[in-house]
Amino acid sequence: MKKLVFIIIMTLTLFLPEGHACVGKTLTIGVVNTSEGQVLAEMISTLITERTGTAVNVAFYENMQDLYEAVRVTKVDISIENTSRAMRVLNKPAEADVQKAYEIVKASYEKEKGLIWLKPFGFQKGGGDGTPSITATILRNEILNNFPALPRLINKLGSSINDDMYTKLINSVETGRKPGSVARDFLKSKKLI
């Protein structure tokens, strides 16, 4: 009898379809190790984990060159970029109109790099060259096969952080609060988790 039960259990294990909270592997968010990178990565990570049950790792990089290389070799699935720096990556001249810059980088990144730009967070800041810049989440196109609902979920953060809120979030991290708790408090305040 025990043998029969074992055979039935093994048969069911082998032939029943697997259940997934959100299909696929662990997602990796890669960011440059700055206060901005830390808090935005924690925001995205917490949102994905809380809303889908998917495991998310956050990897920190010393600079954008290392981060882009990690994206290229598929070690990173999700990253964060601003339009000013993206224009430089594309060898395009600086663009003062942030919406126009966003449209340019969105189209070029998808075509040339297989990277999808999502909605900007909402804050504007200097892009390092004096040009105003907006920041957004970017995803590797291939991960959409396993996580088709991911853009819709992350886009809930689109336009959610104005300039004042951005300053408040960064100051909280720079004065010693953990990025994870800053991100979680923000998401709760927006009723996203």
Tell me, what DSSP letter sits at residue 147? Answer: -
Q: Examine residue 9 and state whether it is found in any structural domain, yes or no.
A: no
Q: Examine residue 114 and state whether it is found in any structural domain, yes or no.
A: yes
Residue numbers of the domain that contains 171: 25-189
Q: Examine residue 17 and state whether it is found in any structural domain, yes or no.
A: no
- Our count of domains for the chain comes to 1
Tell me, rounded to whole angstroms, the distance of Cα 98 from its chain centroid: 20
HEC readout, 96-129: CCHHHHHHHHHHHHHHHHCEEEEEEEEEEEECCC
Q: What angle do CA 174, 189, 168 make, to 5 degrees?
A: 25
Q: Examine residue 19 and state whether it is found in any structural domain, yes or no.
A: no
pTM of the predicted model, to two decimals? Answer: 0.84
Place of tokens 């925001």: 43
Q: Which of 73, 46, 72, 74 is nearest to 58 (CA)?
A: 46
Which tokens sit at 175? 């004065």
Q: Please report the pLDDT score of residue 146 as a whole number.
A: 87
Q: Examine residue 3 and state whether it is found in any structural domain, yes or no.
A: no
Evaluate whether 39 touches 169 at the Cβ level (below 8 Å). Answer: yes
Domain with 47 in it: what CATH number? 3.40.190.10
pLDDT in tens, 37-48: 999 999 999 999
Tell me, what DSSP letter sits at residue 16? Answer: S
Place of tokens 């909605």: 119
pLDDT in tens, 44-97: 999 999 999 999 999 999 999 999 999 999 999 999 999 999 999 999 998 989
> Residue 84 and residue 81: Cα distance in Å, rounded?
9
pLDDT in tens, 105-147: 999 999 999 999 999 999 988 666 678 899 999 999 999 888 9
Which tokens sit at 64? 């954008």
Q: Examine residue 16 and state whether it is found in any structural domain, yes or no.
A: no
Neighbours of 52 (CB within 10 A): 18
Q: Examine residue 1 and state whether it is found in any structural domain, yes or no.
A: no
